[in-house]
Structure 1
Amino acid sequence: MWRWMLSQRRLPLRSAAACKSRWSLLLLLCLPCFALAWVPEQSFTAKVALHYPNSSTSSSSLERHARSYKHLEGDVRRRRLFSATKFFLKIERNGKVRGTRKKNSPHSVMEISSVNIGVVAVKGVYSNFYLAMNKKGKLHSTKNYSENCKFKERIEENGYNTYAAMKWKRKGKQMFVALNGKGSPRRGHRTRRKHLSAHFLPILVL
């Protein structure tokens, strides 16, 4: 009788030991997973410093670097500016500015250069004239680059670009490069951002 009671008392002790060993084994198996999942911020910063030794490793400096647009300055693109009125903007050899329906006209090839953030200069590659707008909103061309040749480039909601004169405004309102339904340039003071005649799609020149 005494032996039977002793064996019954030892049984729970053995079960507890077994459970304890099982929990220990489970903890050992899961510990590497927790170690891999937990990556301290300092280790990430160290990796950035290792791969980019010349860059600042602080989070604020990384944000400033990501939001910098300085790389856009000096960018040069060759495009054809296709108006929403179905004309390609062109500058002829005599300096005349107008639109053309011809898709492969050499005079419609423009060199768009970023002179500042969001500001560009448009130059005819074959005519060697710059696109310009004077105080009265007249679109013309010039051989010599000046403040009249600067345009604010903006991508509109419909995916087209608009080009507003950087220097001149009319009654506080911007004046835009625009081609009417006949392909002729519109006066800047008669243009608005919402007008389709002022919307251009830059097409890559192959």
Structure 2
Amino acid sequence: MPPGPWLCLALLLAARAQSSWGPWPSRAQPPWPSDLSISISSARHARSYHHLEGDVRWRRLYSSTHFFLHIGPSGRVEGTRQPHCPNSIVEIRSVRVGVVAIKAVYTGFYLAMNRRGRLYGTREYSTNCKFMERIEENGYNTYASLHWRHEGRQMFLALDGRGAPRQGGRTRRQHLSTHFLPILVS
């Protein structure tokens, strides 16, 4: 059986280091040991995405249940079918890599989830306001509470078929009600 492409690449680069072209420059050393005793995948360096921290995006979160996420002037979280409702414009701020805070631009409320999985709007930023943002295979985004879990499972932001927020403990990543498209504000 022929060797895999990664092994061939590793052997080629190791031969390059020993060839007449000279050794690798000190800052460009290959990321694996010279004896190749460990697999290539376990020696990879983690990428740094610190440049994404603090990123701010203004979007409308459109649910796959055909509602825009809406945080009203009282802090009530619900869905609306009105595409140009000012209370549906949210600021998605990257707190750290993969973690965001969602704030309604016009009402000033942060989206939050309590320990029971209930969604609400709050003026005070807290740990309840942090959500893990993930881009799913179908192109939609999901938002799971960073701090709270229900029986060990993540609790997601979700709007049901009537536009009402779903209880976090009853949501799963695969449910269409948890899938949102961040639409640019024009």
User: How many pairs were matched up?
Assistant: 155
Tell me the TM-score normalized by structure 2.
Answer: 0.78
Corresponding residue for 1:117?
97
| Cα distance in structure 2, aligned partners of 1:99 and 1:126 | 16
The alignment yields a C-alpha RMSD, in angstroms, of: 2.0
| Cα distance in structure 1, aligned partners of 2:30 and 2:85 | 49
4+ long deviations beyond 6 Å: none
More helix by share: 1
| Cα distance in structure 2, aligned partners of 1:75 and 1:118 | 11
Corresponding residue for 2:121?
141
Within-5 A mapping of 1:7-156 = 57-59=27-29, 67-156=47-136
Matched letter for residue 122 of structure 2:
T
- Deviations along 1:28-69, one digit per CA (max 9) or x if unpaired, are xxxxxxxxxxxx588x96xxxxxxxxxx842558x85x9211
Q: 1:167 to 1:101 in 2, by over 3 A?
A: same
Offset, 1:74: 0.6
1:182 aligns with 2:165: no
Highest CA radius of gyration, 1 or 2? 1
| Cα distance in structure 1, aligned partners of 2:122 and 2:154 | 21
- Deviations along 1:1-53, one digit per CA (max 9) or x if unpaired, are xxxxxxxxxxxxxxxxxxxxxxxxxxxxxxxxxxxxxxx588x96xxxxxxxx
- Deviations along 1:130-185, one digit per CA (max 9) or x if unpaired, are 00000000000100000000000000111000000000000000000000000000
| Cα distance in structure 2, aligned partners of 1:75 and 1:83 | 22
Offset, 1:96: 1.0
| Cα distance in structure 2, aligned partners of 1:41 and 1:77 | 47
| Cα distance in structure 2, aligned partners of 1:41 and 1:86 | 61
Tell me the TM-score normalized by structure 1.
Answer: 0.70
Matched letter for residue 127 of structure 2:
E
Q: Residue 128 of structure 2 aligns to a residue in which SS?
A: helix
Identity %: 60
